[in-house]
């Protein structure tokens, strides 16, 4: 006879936090959102932590290199999507790792034999007015000069004018050599009143650009997540098919943490993948696993050696696994059970394995609820897909700006490896949709607003850290009627089409 759970599976919207005692110290400025990413033993420090409890999903429509840099600047981690060639994914990781804090890989480059028309086209595409002129037009080419908006006049010059005729040539440039520190580079910029400083190697090949504006950005992002070499921290997704080739390439590229991207983690395929990584690299390569929705799934992956475990099946906004296959579990219920299993495992073994809640986040307060229910960090797809930094197109739909967003199980992504059940290498049926989400602007502004709400709510609960929130939070189920009561009701709302006099 099938096993029946006693309670229905519930979503975050069915719960509310109940305020607790707040001391005079409970102000948002005092709240720490630092959280472990990988497992550690009691009394030890984890090898990798984040300054905010947010990671971006392993999706084509979410986690490219721009997202990785932007999220690391705010203190979180992006997991570069694995549904691409091994070479392309490794190259993405390498480009993120080449961006030391303040040292930027040039993404606006041009050859000297190109024209002012090419300059204008490149500026329109990238939005950058400072361009490196290299012998081959790449970011790694031999630096021959620099072009800025001050070097040409659109109204007075022929669009066919060659770049080499109006660029600032190399012999007139102020530059720095490989090995310069960020402090030294910024001092050169300030001493010479520069807007940018190229950094080159001994062969005159361009390595980085350091910009005056990034000095302020660095100061404005005190939570940025850096490795020991002052490079941004980045993760990457892998699958259970080509890990023997993909993992070495990603490790060589400098990836900080891996995650098996799978719709269902309670399987021998994941065990085999983790065992291969441990056999090849020991504990030096960190790898998360999942997804699971109950105690058994957690225990299985814990004993396999996962560094963190993802929770959630079918709760994503573009996921239709439950609709297609009738499998999954309400995200809140799944998280509560898995977090309890995590704590039980910690008491038994002294090993703490962080839990990542993946899916089901609709409102900002759901993030705080997920943390209170035991999540160490949250993986978000739709949330991050709305921002400038996601790799998708911004389009106009019905007069409103939208961003494209599609699931890894959609026909568009065709990421059959994520839904692999050991059969043919193809996507038999879709488990995700192709959609649009409202465009929301920059990542920094939106993440800042979300985390302001999280910190404020934590103060209402009398907690100044995520462990304190998990220990002290009081959570209540809410009825359908009280959910209605929680929003605006029994009033006539003002809007552009309804003016109340």
| Least confident residue range of 32-41, 180-189, 199-208 | 180-189
Tens of pLDDT, residue by residue over 260-289, are: 998 889 999 999 999 999 999 999 999 999
The three-state secondary structure class of 208 is strand
- Where residue 144 falls among pLDDT bands split at 50, 70, 90? very high
Q: State the Rg of the chain over Cα.
A: 25
Strand partners, 145: 133, 169
C-beta separation of 214 from 185 below 8 A: no
Give the span between the Cα atoms of 371 and 389, in whole angstroms.
25
Q: Is the pLDDT of residue 500 over 50?
A: no
Q: Of residues 247 and 488, which shows the higher confidence score?
A: 247
The reported pLDDT for the residue numbered 501 is 40
Q: Of residues 318 and 297, which shows the higher confidence score?
A: 297
Give the Å distances, CA to CA, from 268 to 257, 290, 458.
Answer: 21, 12, 39
Tens of pLDDT, residue by residue over 359-410, are: 999 999 999 999 999 999 999 999 999 999 999 989 999 999 999 998 787 7
The reported pLDDT for the residue numbered 123 is 86
The reported pLDDT for the residue numbered 181 is 85
Average pLDDT, the chain: 91
Give the Å distances, CA to CA, from 5 to 290, 294, 480.
Answer: 21, 11, 22
At CA 431, angle to CA 428 and CA 436, rounded to 5?
130
Strand partners, 49: 36
Which among 304, 418, 459, 461 is annotated as catalytic? 418
Q: Phi first, then psi: what are they for 458, rounded to 5°? A: -60, -40
- Where residue 435 falls among pLDDT bands split at 50, 70, 90? confident
Q: Is the pLDDT of residue 7 over 80?
A: yes
In residues, how long is the chain?
Answer: 501
Strand pairing report for 143-147 and 131-134: antiparallel
Q: Which residues contact 250 (CB under 8 A, 6 or more apart)?
A: 89, 90, 93, 236, 238, 258
The reported pLDDT for the residue numbered 261 is 94
Give the span between the Cα atoms of 404 and 421, in whole angstroms.
28
Q: Is the pLDDT of residue 20 over 60?
A: yes
- Where residue 429 falls among pLDDT bands split at 50, 70, 90? low
Strand pairing report for 15-18 and 308-311: unpaired
Can 241 be counted among the known catalytic residues? no
- Where residue 220 falls among pLDDT bands split at 50, 70, 90? confident
Q: Is the pLDDT of residue 109 over 50?
A: yes
Can 259 be counted among the known catalytic residues? no
Instruction: Average the pLDDT over 432-455 and give the result.
Output: 93
Which among 259, 319, 459, 461 is annotated as catalytic? 319
Instruction: Average the pLDDT over 114-129 and give the result.
Output: 87
């Amino acid at each position: 006879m099938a096993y029946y759970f006693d309670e229905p599976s519930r979503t975050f919207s069915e719960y509310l936090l109940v305020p607790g005692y707040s001391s005079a110290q409970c102000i948002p400025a005092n709240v720490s959102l630092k959280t472990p990413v990988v497992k550690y033993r009691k009394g030890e420090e984890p090898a990798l932590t984040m300054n905010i409890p947010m990671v971006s999903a392993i999706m084509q429509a979410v986690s490219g290199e721009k997202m990785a840099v932007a999220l690391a600047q705010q203190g979180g981690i992006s997991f570069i999507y694995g549904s691409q060639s091994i070479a392309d994914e490794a190259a993405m990781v390498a480009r993120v790792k080449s961006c030391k804090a303040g040292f930027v890989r040039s993404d606006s480059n041009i050859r000297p034999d190109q024209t002012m028309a090419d300059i204008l086209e490149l500026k329109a595409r990238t939005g950058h007015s400072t361009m490196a002129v290299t012998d081959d037009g790449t970011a790694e080419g031999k630096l021959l000069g620099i072009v800025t908006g001050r070097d040409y006049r659109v109204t007075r010059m022929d669009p066919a004018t060659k770049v080499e005729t109006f660029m600032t040539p190399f012999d007139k440039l102020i530059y720095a050599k490989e090995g310069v520190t960020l402090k030294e580079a910024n001092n050169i910029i300030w001493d010479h009143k520069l807007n940018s400083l190229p950094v080159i190697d001994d062969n005159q090949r361009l390595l980085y650009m350091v910009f005056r504006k990034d000095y302020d950005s660095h100061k404005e992002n005190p939570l940025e997540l850096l490795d020991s070499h002052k490079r941004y921290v980045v993760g990457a997704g892998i699958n259970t098919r080509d890990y023997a080739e993909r993992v070495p390439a990603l490790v060589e590229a400098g990836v900080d943490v891996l995650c098996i991207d799978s719709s269902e983690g309670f399987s021998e395929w994941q065990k085999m993948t983790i065992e291969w990584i441990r056999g090849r690299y020991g504990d030096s390569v960190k790898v998360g696993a999942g997804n699971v929705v109950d105690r058994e799934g957690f225990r299985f992956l814990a004993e396999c050696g996962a560094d963190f475990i993802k929770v959630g099946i079918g709760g994503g906004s573009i996921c239709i696994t439950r609709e297609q296959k009738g499998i999954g579990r309400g995200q809140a219920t799944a998280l509560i059970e898995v977090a309890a299993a995590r704590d039980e495992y910690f008491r038994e073994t002294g090993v703490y394995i962080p839990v990542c809640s993946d899916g089901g986040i609709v409102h900002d307060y759901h993030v705080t609820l997920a943390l209170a229910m035991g999540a160490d960090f949250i993986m978000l797809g739709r949330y991050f897909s709305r921002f400038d930094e996601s790799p998708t197109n911004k389009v106009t739909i019905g007069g409103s700006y939208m961003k494209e967003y599609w699931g890894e199980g959609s026909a568009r992504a065709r990421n059959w490896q994520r839904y692999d059940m050991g059969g043919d290498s193809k996507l038999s049926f879709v488990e995700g949709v192709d959609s649009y989400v409202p465009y929301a602007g920059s990542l920094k502004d939106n993440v800042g607003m979300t985390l302001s709400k999280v910190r404020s709510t934590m103060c209402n609960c009398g907690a100044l850290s995520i462990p304190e929130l998990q220990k002290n939070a009081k959570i209540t189920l809410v009825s359908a009627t009280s959910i209605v009561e929680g929003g605006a009701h029994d009033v006539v709302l003002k809007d552009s089409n309804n003016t109340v006099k």
